[in-house]
A and B are shown apart, each in its own frame.
Chain A
Amino acid sequence: MKLRRDTTTGIVGLIGCAFFAVYIQFIKMPAKLLEPGPRLLPYVSIVLIAMSAVALIVKGVKEHKIEEKPYFPKGGILKITKSFLMLVVYAIAMTYLGFVITTPFATYAFIYDLKGNSEIKPIVAIIISILVTACLYAMFVYGFQIKLPAGVLFD
């Protein structure tokens, strides 16, 4: 049986609640408190999430016969996973190589990832990637006095 999105959300919610419920026990409670203490807010949030998770599971089970429209069009899940992984790779590469080295490559990759059906000339994409990196670097470092990652290897 294919699970409805509400049921999946409820199950994920309950798993999350169980995880955090275990970690609440590690929060130290100061002695002789007149008020409920630091565990109150986490408990309240977990109860809210768990309660709504159960309600969503019940709703999903009740409506399991109703056909559900897919959230993404065909190939959408693959596309969003690819885009997200590219962002993760960019973050890891930036950690080691810094902003200046990684950004032109990342920009080039993002342009192609987001282009959809548009036609793009590689030379234009290369020029734009280099220009975007240079302009953003100048704007943030010299204009707004904000540091950019230099990379662990070059620090």
Chain B
Amino acid sequence: MTAYMHALSICLQPNNMLLIVAMVSLGIVFGAIPGLSATLGIALLLPVTFGLSAETSFVLLLSIWIGGVSGAFISAVLIGIPGSSSAIATCFDGFPMTKNGQAGKALGIGMTASFIGTVGSVAIATVLSHVIAEFALHLGPWEYFSLCFCAITLITSLSKGNIFKGIMAAGIGLLMGSIGMDPINGSTRFTFGNAYLSSGISTVAQMLGMFAICQIIRDSAKGEAKMPAADAGKMKGLGIKFKDIFENIKSIVFAFVTGLWIGFLPGMGSGISNMVAYGYAKSISKNPESFGKGNPAGVWASETANNASIGGALIPMMALGIPGDGITAMLIAGLTIHGLQAGPLFMSEQPELASLIFACVMVAAVVTYFVQILTKRWFPYILKVPYHYLYTVILVICFIGGYGISNTMFNIYVMLALCFLAIFMSMAGLPTSPLVLAFILSSKLEKYFRQGISYAHGSYEEFITRPISAILLLVSLFCLVWPIISDYRKQKKVALANVAMTENAACDD
């Protein structure tokens, strides 16, 4: 508690508060503009943190994260285009509310629901992470390997369309992660005689190339960098009353629990939680037919759930060092830049910095709410920023960031090569999330596996005889096999239906 209060006082120092306000505002802009996102914001800021202290770096990165996730509802409400996948369900009722002349109220709900989701989930994460981290200290390399493996298989199994695309992306991530020195013996792999490659591919170069640059030039080529005009309507005040919260309390509570749990699971996060929570809010409503036509409960559910995922994602990141999604993977990369490693040891050896992370997220959530209340009337103007100027600045910042990794041009070329790979993957329909997670976890996965075998004197048995490890491996196996079985059953059903139709047609003839 003392460490947390100390961390809170650091966040409340004038310099840090100014930084939080600035980064939260930037995050809101990144979240609000479709095509930009909190992920992109963090990718751009990672190189900036090279010259800063660990504390300042985290204030910077966490503030833009919170602002970005929270700001995604703005375009969903005003123009019916979600700022990111976390606000898809917000469009369903948020935009109809705007068309009904209730834009101010919809924005007020989005702001308040985001605040409730973030603050509540971070409070729970602050308490739970310490408990889980203490428990995690008793785990061996076998359990850690199984945990990393489970995280990768979970995110792979969720790949849209085809699980093999997810597996291929994870395979590419592991292959990229194996470039450089191996974590146990120091043997060099795939360096092709290049000294720069012996330390492996930089996570920052990967993020900048695969997320930022690729997204900009791809959107431009696809002609997606255009925006419809936003209808401002009445924007004064918060737009809602306490009564509105109590009227929707059931949806809010369920959405909160859903968001927290889904955020905790690797690979899921806010993109899924908002849809699940929206579905539930619709199912318990007395007027389910009003959903999709501007029912405020839909906005409450979606926005509470996607922000509650923030706290959920923080738990495995802080307590176990396992990133739940792309953003937490980047935050872990941010820790690595400063020579720190997230996980149970980080929680016990660096309690001040661990507490600072939780405290900063909490302060950023409160600041986000106030910034949103004060700037609500200008939200429609955010969506009028000309893309060609904004994207140009981002491209140049990416180049500066690429150079800043090691003060050489080498990482700029790596960044461009990875951008090329990302364009190919995008055209092939390969998802990037399994690649990022596999790349980030590859060294841990390999280290724990090989350590586990070494400690067991060459035996593989411990992986299946230790209960936690065995359960995690079973979950992983299920995640990999279930989509294939499910696909096969679906195909069989379709084939049977086709046969039945043909027979019926033959009988009719």
Contact = CB atoms under 8 A, between A and B. Distances in A.
Nearest to A152: B409
A146 B47 contact: yes
Contact of B428 (A9, A36, A79, A80): A9
Interface residues on A, range: 35 or more
Contacts of A87: 213, 217, 395, 416, 419
Interface residues of B, number: 73
B138 interface: no
A128 B396 CA distance: 13
B419 A42 contact: no
User: Per DSSP, are chain A's interface residues mostly helix, strand or loop, or mixed?
Assistant: helix
A128 B182 contact: no
A114 B446 contact: no
Contacts of B446: 40-41
B436 interface: no
B190 interface: yes
B226 A83 contact: no
A115 B386 CA distance: 9
Given A45-B172, A49-B172, A30 B428 contact: no
B225 interface: yes
A79 B190 CA distance: 33
B222 interface: yes
Given A84-B419, A87-B419, A132-B396, A38 B404 contact: no
Nearest to B217: A83
A42 B190 contact: yes
Contact of A52 (B168, B225, B426, B458): B168
A90 B399 CA distance: 9
Interface string A116-155: 1010100000001000110010001000111111000000
Interface stretch (B173-181, B231-239, B312-320): B173-181
Interface of A: 5-6, 8-9, 12-13, 20, 23, 27-30, 33-38, 40-42, 44-49, 51-53, 55-56, 59, 71-73, 76-77, 79-80, 83-84, 87-88, 90-91, 94-95, 99, 103, 106-107, 110-111, 113-116, 118, 120, 128, 132-133, 136, 140, 144-149
11 contacts: A38-B185, A41-B442, A44-B174, A71-B426, A71-B427, A72-B222, A80-B220, A80-B221, A99-B400, A136-B396, A146-B50
